[in-house]
Structure 1
Amino acid sequence: MPTPDFVVELRKHVGRAELWMPGVTAVIRRDDEVLLVRRSDNGAWAPVTGIVDPGEEPAVCAAREAREEAGVEIQVDRLASTSVMRDVVHANGDRAAYLDLAFACTWLSGDARPCDDECTEVGWFRHDRIPSMKQVLRERIDAALSDEVAARFSRSDGRRGARDRD
């Protein structure tokens, strides 16, 4: 996956130390299907994801990533979930923690296809035929496909997917 220029600049100052990074997941629906990309770094299927640029609105980032990775135009409908991925160590040794904002999105136009080197394949999958993937990604998809109005979030006490009603 290409590293954003601002991260390359930060790494000049902090080396491989853990960075706190804002990220997005775009769960893109078309009728009863979800768009997934096969990641080039690990070969796994996943929704479209990306890192938010400094000053960029997260929903704008989700739409940009959908264009850049899969060549589709989308409408970002709502925030579906928030979660944190801790203790990520990339292949080059860089460490990060990611705050992810997952959005429920609707496909508007474009023939889905790999548009950059971040994915090798794209496909539309019915919800009941989604390929196996990391549980955290599946939870983001489930949250986006739900009829819930409030966003789900993962809690530091280990309860996943709970909405705060305290």
Structure 2
Amino acid sequence: MPVSEYVRSLRERIGASYLLLPGVTAVFRDDDRFLLARQGDSGRWSLIGGGIEPGEDPRAALVREVREELGVGSDVIRIIGAYGGAALENVYPNGDRVGYVTVAYLCSLRTSSLTLDEDEVLETRWATLAEIAELDHHEWIDQVLTDATR
């Protein structure tokens, strides 16, 4: 995944030290199924999302991330919740340490015809919670999807 200029500038100053970064996550639901994306960097299944740039409104960041990764417009319906902690911490292969705090939003797609950013998203699929449990996925999304069903 490409590194934003903001994170790149911070890394120049602090090296691989731990960074806490804000993010947004899109949850697309169709009855009992959820849209998943298999990530280009890890090959694992997750939800669409990414970082919030300095001065960017979180909803605008979400719409931007969906457009970048799926090539479609989206509408934000409501906030599902905020997530962070150990489950959203990562050490990248280059040694950079990061923790994310993400706000998850229930969203709708404006079209079903997706154009994937193949550097970030290898493929997408709709899956039920039971099917997701069988996939190699980021565990933190389990709580997000459970909360989305409430």
Written as runs of structure 1 = structure 2, the 5 A alignment for 1:81-100 is 81-86=81-86, 87-100=89-102
Kindly indicate whether residue 73 of structure 2 is the aligned counterpart of residue 69 of structure 1.
Answer: no
Greater helix share, structure number: 2
Kindly indicate whether residue 146 of structure 2 is the aligned counterpart of residue 138 of structure 1.
Answer: no
Native 8 Å contact 1:37 1:70 kept in 2? no
Partner of 1:123: 125
Native 8 Å contact 1:89 1:95 kept in 2? yes
- State the SS of the aligned residue for 1:101: strand
Higher normalized contact order (CA 8 Å, seq sep 6+, divided by chain length): 2
Structure 2 CA distance, aligned partners of 1:110 and 1:57? 25
Native 8 Å contact 1:35 1:124 kept in 2? yes
Partner of 2:40: 40
Note the C-alpha offset of 1:66. Answer: 0.9
Native 8 Å contact 1:85 1:100 kept in 2? no
Give the CA RMSD over aligned residues. 1.8
Identity %: 34
Gaps of 5+ in 1: 147-166
Q: How many aligned positions are there? A: 146
- The amino acid across from 1:69 in the alignment is E
- State the SS of the aligned residue for 1:112: coil
Structure 2 CA distance, aligned partners of 1:116 and 1:54? 26
Written as runs of structure 1 = structure 2, the 5 A alignment for 1:97-108 is 97-108=99-110
- The amino acid across from 1:58 in the alignment is P
Kindly indicate whether residue 25 of structure 2 is the aligned counterpart of residue 25 of structure 1.
Answer: yes
Note the C-alpha offset of 1:7. Answer: 0.5
Native 8 Å contact 2:26 2:49 kept in 1? yes
Partner of 1:149: none
Note the C-alpha offset of 1:116. Answer: 4.2
Native 8 Å contact 2:76 2:108 kept in 1? yes
TM-score by length of 2: 0.87
Note the C-alpha offset of 1:144. Answer: 2.1
TM-score by length of 1: 0.79
Partner of 1:112: 114
Deviations 1:40-79 (A, max 9, x none): 1111111102011111111111111111111222111111
Structure 2 CA distance, aligned partners of 1:12 and 1:28? 36
